[in-house]
Amino acid sequence: MSRDPVIVGIGLSDAPKAPHLDSVGHHVQAIQRALADAGIEKRAIDGYLCAGMEGGSAEAVAMAEYLGIDHRYVDSTMTGGSAFEFHVQHAAAALRDGLCETVLVSYGSDYLSRRGRSLGTGAFRGGFAITGPDLYQAPYGLSLVGAYALVAQRHMHEFGTTSEQLAQIAVGVREFAGLNPNAMYRDPITVADVLASRMIADPLHMLDCCVVSDGGGAFIMTTAERARDLRRAPVRVLGAAGAQTHWNIGQMRDYTTSAGAKCIPEAFARAGVRASEIDTLQFYDSFTITVLVMLEDAGFCKKGEGGAFVEAGHLRRGGRHPLNTDGGGLSALHSGMRGLFLIAEAVRQLRGEAGAAQVPDAKLALAVGSGGFLSCIGAVVLGKD
Amino acid sequence: MEVVRGQKWERGKLAPGALDRHFFEAAARGELLFQRCPACNHRQFYPRLLCTACGANPVWETASGRGTVHTFTIIRQNGMPPFKDLLPYAVAMIELDEGVRMMGNVTGCAVEQVRIGLRVEAYAVESGEGLAVTFWRPAR
- Say yes or no for a CB contact (<8 Å) between B15 and A122: no
Contact residues, chain B, for A135 at CB < 8 Å: 14, 16, 20, 24, 46
CA-nearest residue to B134 within chain A is A136
**B4-19 burial string, b = 16+ CB within 10 Å, else e?**
eeeeebebbebbbeee
Contact residues, chain A, for B49 at CB < 8 Å: none
Indicate the residue type of A37: D
CA-nearest residue to B45 within chain A is A251
pLDDT-wise least confident of A52-56, A144-148, A200-204, A246-250? A52-56
B23 vs A137: CA distance, rounded Å: 14
The pLDDT assigned to A285 comes to 98
DSSP conformation class of B14: B
User: Parallel, antiparallel, or unpaired for β A102-109 and A47-50?
Assistant: parallel
B23 vs B18: CA distance, rounded Å: 9
Q: What is the pLDDT of residues A313-367, one digit of tens each?
A: 999 999 999 999 999 999 999 999 999 999 999 999 999 999 999 999 999 999 9
The pLDDT assigned to A1 comes to 57
- Say yes or no for a CB contact (<8 Å) between B71 and A151: yes
- How many beta-carbon pairs below 8 A join chains A and B? 118
* pLDDT greater than 50 at residue B8: yes
Nearest-CB residue to A250 (from B14, B72, B93): B93
A366 vs A279: CA distance, rounded Å: 8
* Ramachandran assignment for B72, one of left (phi > 0), alpha (psi -120 to 50 degrees), beta (any other): beta
Give residue limits of the domains in chain B.
2-138
Q: What is the pLDDT of residues A10-20, one digit of tens each?
A: 999 999 999 99
* pLDDT greater than 60 at residue B59: yes
Q: Give me the architecture of the A5-116+214-233 domain, per CATH.
A: 3-Layer(aba) Sandwich (3.40)
Per-residue 3-state assignment (H helix, E strand, C coil) for chain A: CCCCEEEEEEEECCCCCCCCCCHHHHHHHHHHHHHHHHCCCHHHCCEEEECCCCHHHHCHHHHHHHHCCCCCEEECCCECECHHHHHHHHHHHHHHCCCCCEEEEEEEECHHHHHCCCCCCCECCCCCCECHHHHHCHHHCCEHHHHHHHHHHHHHHHHCCCHHHHHHHHHHHHHHHCCCCCCCCCCCCCHHHHHHCCEEECCEEHHHECCCCCEEEEEEEEEHHHHCCCCCCCEEEEEEEEEECCCCHHHCCCCCCCCHHHHHHHHHHHHCCCHHHCCEEEECCCEHHHHHHHHHHHCCCCCCCHHHHHHCCCCCCCCCCCECCCCHHHHHCCCCCCHHHHHHHHHHHHCCCCHHHCCCCCCEEEEEEEECCCCEEEEEEEEEC
Contact residues, chain A, for B110 at CB < 8 Å: none
CB contact at 8 A, A377 and A294: yes
CA-nearest residue to A150 within chain B is B72
Q: CB atoms < 10 A from the CB of A149, how many? A: 30
Query: What mean pLDDT do residues B80-86 have?
Result: 93
Give, for B124, the enclosing helix (H) or strand (E). Answer: strand B119-128
The pLDDT assigned to A119 comes to 44
The pLDDT assigned to A56 comes to 76
| pTM greater than the 0.90 cutoff | yes
The pLDDT assigned to A127 comes to 55
- Say yes or no for a CB contact (<8 Å) between B103 and A137: yes
A20 vs B22: CA distance, rounded Å: 50
* pLDDT greater than 80 at residue B84: yes
Query: What mean pLDDT do residues A84-106 have?
Result: 98
- Say yes or no for a CB contact (<8 Å) between A136 and B70: no
What CATH class has A142-210+240-384?
alpha beta
- Say yes or no for a CB contact (<8 Å) between A132 and B104: no
Which residues on chain B place their C-beta less than 8 Å from a C-beta of chain A? 11-17, 20, 24, 45-46, 70-81, 83, 86, 89, 91, 93, 101-105, 116, 127, 133
CB contact at 8 A, A192 and A163: no
A62 vs A91: CA distance, rounded Å: 19
Distance of residue B34 Cα from the nearest chain A Cα, in angstroms: 12
- Say yes or no for a CB contact (<8 Å) between B12 and A129: yes
User: What is the distance, to the nearest Å, from the Cα of residue A66 to the centroid of all Cα atoms in its chain?
Assistant: 25
Q: How much of chain A, in percent, has pLDDT values that exceed 70? A: 97
A365 vs A384: CA distance, rounded Å: 9
Angle in degrees, CA A82, A85, A87, rounded to 5: 110
Which residues on chain A place their C-beta less than 8 Å from a C-beta of chain B? 118, 121-123, 125-133, 135-143, 145-146, 149-151, 153-154, 157, 198-204, 250-251, 255
Give residue limits of the domains in chain A.
5-116+214-233, 142-210+240-384
Q: What is the pLDDT of residues A115-156, one digit of tens each?
A: 776 544 554 445 579 999 999 999 999 999 999 999 999 999
Query: What mean pLDDT do residues A266-277 have?
Result: 98
A329 vs A283: CA distance, rounded Å: 9
A54 — pLDDT class (breaks 50, 70, 90)? confident
A231 — pLDDT class (breaks 50, 70, 90)? confident
Distance of residue B88 Cα from the nearest chain A Cα, in angstroms: 9
A320 vs A306: CA distance, rounded Å: 14
CB contact at 8 A, A73 and A101: no
* pLDDT greater than 90 at residue A57: no
A104 vs A94: CA distance, rounded Å: 12
A58 — pLDDT class (breaks 50, 70, 90)? confident
Nearest-CB residue to B13 (from A129, A149, A199): A129
